[in-house]
Amino acid sequence: MARTAVSRNDAPAAAPATYQDVLDAPAHRVAEIVDGALHTNPRPAAPHTRASSSLGVKIGGPFDYDRGGPGGWWILDEPELHLGDDVLVPDLAGWRRERMPTYPDTAYFTLAPDWACEVLSASTRRLDLHGKRPIYAREGVGHLWLVDPEDRTLEAFELRSGEWVLIATAKDDDSVCIRPFDAVTFSLGDLWP
């Protein structure tokens, strides 16, 4: 259903997307609302999925399940975040259990995560870097990791005074020991097929 609103210069302007637009999106698409606009993208390709799944295993075991690590986190694949009027679906996100002691029984999360990870692809790179990254900063997400399966890289950022600061990079099969998950070390090469 197309909605229009009248802009200040009397030309029709698209009304901001709503959660109903997300619900009405085709099931085979990932739907997000960023700055009032609905964005739908295809489900991730195989290299993207491998990188995201593998990173979830590497971090989830020691941090979510206390296997060989300190625990204390909820680590989730593709959680739906409702942050103000924005609806985001990061590839991975994590909440410190001290901030979210009880796991919610809801379809989406309204508490911003402590860490988010976006796995970049040709179809999502622009949105991840220029649409979603500022929203994560606005909402106070402390750490953001960007994984690029094509370039076989990871860039890790920390939020300081509302700005993203690059704190680490890794490539190919480098050892990864990066905040906020620096209690364990793993090979970045484990993310690539």
Q: How many CB atoms lie within 10 A of CB 5?
A: 9
In the chain, the percentage of residues whose pLDDT exceeds 70 is: 93
pLDDT for residue 12 is more than 80:
no
Is 178 part of a structural domain of the chain?
yes
pLDDT of residue 14: 79
Is 175 part of a structural domain of the chain?
yes
Domain of residue 90, residue span:
44-191
pLDDT of residue 1: 40
Is 152 part of a structural domain of the chain?
yes
pLDDT for residue 4 is more than 80:
no
Is 103 part of a structural domain of the chain?
yes
Q: How confident is the model at residue 2 (pLDDT cuts 50, 70, 90)?
A: very low
pLDDT tens-digit profile of 95-152? 999 999 999 999 999 999 999 999 999 999 999 999 999 999 999 999 999 999 999 9
pLDDT of residue 24: 95
pLDDT for residue 54 is more than 60:
yes
Is 35 part of a structural domain of the chain?
no
pLDDT of residue 58: 97
Is 153 part of a structural domain of the chain?
yes
pLDDT for residue 11 is more than 80:
no
Is 12 part of a structural domain of the chain?
no
CA angle 138, 70, 115 (to 5 degrees): 15
Find the CATH number of the domain harbouring 140. 3.90.1570.10
- Domain total of the chain: 1
Averaged pLDDT, 21-39: 95
pLDDT of residue 181: 98
**DSSP per-residue codes, the chain:** ---EEE-TTSSEEEPPP-HHHHHHS-TTEEEEEETTEEEEEEPPPHHHHHHHHHHHHHHIIIIIS-SSS---EEEEES--EEETTEEE--SEEEEETTTS-S---SSSB-SPPSEEEEE--TTTHHIIIIIIHHHHHHTT-SEEEEEETTTTEEEEEEEETTEEEEEEEEETT-EE--TTSTTS-EEGGGG--
Is 110 part of a structural domain of the chain?
yes
